[in-house]
Structure 1
């Protein structure tokens, strides 16, 4: 599918690579770790038939710049990335958009919903619960399953050096281990090659680790402040989770989101963590149902 590339400059000077395709109202698609915008390829034709799809590479991923982290771990905070989304919408001329986020992109999406509610129409969260809630849910089983949260958040350059010893092998192992089939068969070859390439670049590898350092240090604290102040997501929200993914290990993930958002619909698909690639037809059906029925805020 043909996508037009836009290079957009964030307010801190970071260059963001953004692809645009389709026709209709704006819909932003935010990817997660260790991926980039290409993770949406299996569901993109259905979405592009109804929406103008906006596919950023998050800062530090894909073709976007990978600025150096700061001591306070704010450069890759989800608040910072949500501001990148504001800059993207401004540059493309949109006052509001629907937003879908998966994995790290879902954390950017819900931060965008809380920090910039006037810019959001509807929200879809794929395969995460809020950062603070996920840390609070940890027990031995979840700590074992989600070990990368602690590993990648270790001080630089420990995880970077360990991954760089076999970056392609680490990416392949990580992707396969989070799927239901425990294989790479669901991934588009073009996308899989790009995931390996970005992890082999020292700057992008450092950025992906910095993303998780922000999750431990900065994002967790921002979430806690929101909880203390009683802030809630106001936009209509679909929480889409995988029966064999990470949120399923927290007990009742939909109930967690209902403490954070006033209007939550949830649906589950039969897949591992990478739902769009493992179960694209189920994901497309759930999205069509939500966007067909939920009123625009």
Structure 2
């Protein structure tokens, strides 16, 4: 199911093939989705961005129609960032803007740290870096973000539990993370696509491995980057919902200040975790001038 007005193709990026949706013209911008979603999470804002940019929307490995390799290490954000470098190479793009949400934002900031020469401007929606998020946990955050420990449990425990009602688990996750605790902000094709992922054992395993990598490999690599004093060189725009996960960490903009050389942040009032669907106009109002260099 392609975003309206976008063309879908399978692109060999090296280790895997990614399903990629593309439309527009101009400076390229790559949009990276999160869990438990896929390219559809951008369907409200991507057409507007395509009026000014060459918009490229891949399904991350393990999600949507992209390949789903086995093993935890395959879902380390460093490996997933290499997929995006491979995608840029395949499309003959020396550099691009990158905007990521949720797990895609973790891929995006790792890409900016590991391959700074490929990222012009960076946008991060609704996360703080992996190591910092783990360090911020208290009882309230642990209850809200229980999926971080649940999905990271050794296989096949979470896979078997989700298999009892994968689409129902996806619906619960989506609705409980919105500001209004409702599925109304999600389009029917998007919901159908997300539910299909929840019913696909290979996709469920991939999503669990994504979180297993976050609890182990990604956390270690973040610590190594911090110890080395690594900073994101690309101008960084950070967006977070007033009712989302970063808001529960205390000072999310302050957390990013330790990672970025050039930082601007916008809190999105009335939004939970899924800002692009919940407050698309506010997201566009923030990201359009950022990526235009204004």
Given the two structures, how large is their TM-score scaled by the length of structure 2? Answer: 0.97
Q: Which 5+ residue runs of structure 2 have no aligned equivalent?
A: none
Deviation at 1:45, TM superposition (A): 1.9
Q: Distance in 2 between matches of 1:85 and 1:64?
A: 13
Which residue does the alignment assign to 2:156? 157
Runs of 4+ off more than 3 Å: none
Q: Deviations over 1:93-142 (max 9, x none)?
A: 10000000000000000000000000000000000000000000001110
Q: Does 1:32 align with 2:34?
A: yes
Is contact 1:82-1:111 (8 Å) kept?
Answer: yes
| Match of residue 12, structure 2, among 5, 9, 12 | 9
Which residue does the alignment assign to 1:290? 290
Deviation at 1:289, TM superposition (A): 2.8
Q: Distance in 1 between matches of 2:13 and 2:148?
A: 27
Count how many residue pairs are aligned between Structure 1 and Structure 2: 290
Q: Which 5+ residue runs of structure 1 have no aligned equivalent?
A: none
Give the alignment's Cα RMSD to 1 decimal: 0.8
Which residue does the alignment assign to 2:102? 103
Deviation at 1:11, TM superposition (A): 2.4
Question: Within 5 Å, which residues of 2 pair with 1:145-294?
Answer: 145-270=144-269, 271-294=271-294
Is contact 2:243-2:273 (8 Å) kept?
Answer: yes
Which residue does the alignment assign to 1:61? 63
Is contact 1:8-1:87 (8 Å) kept?
Answer: no
Q: Distance in 1 between matches of 2:183 and 2:52?
A: 29
Q: Deviations over 1:44-68 (max 9, x none)?
A: 1210100010000000000001111
Q: Deviations over 1:212-257 (max 9, x none)?
A: 0000010000000001100100000000110000000000100000
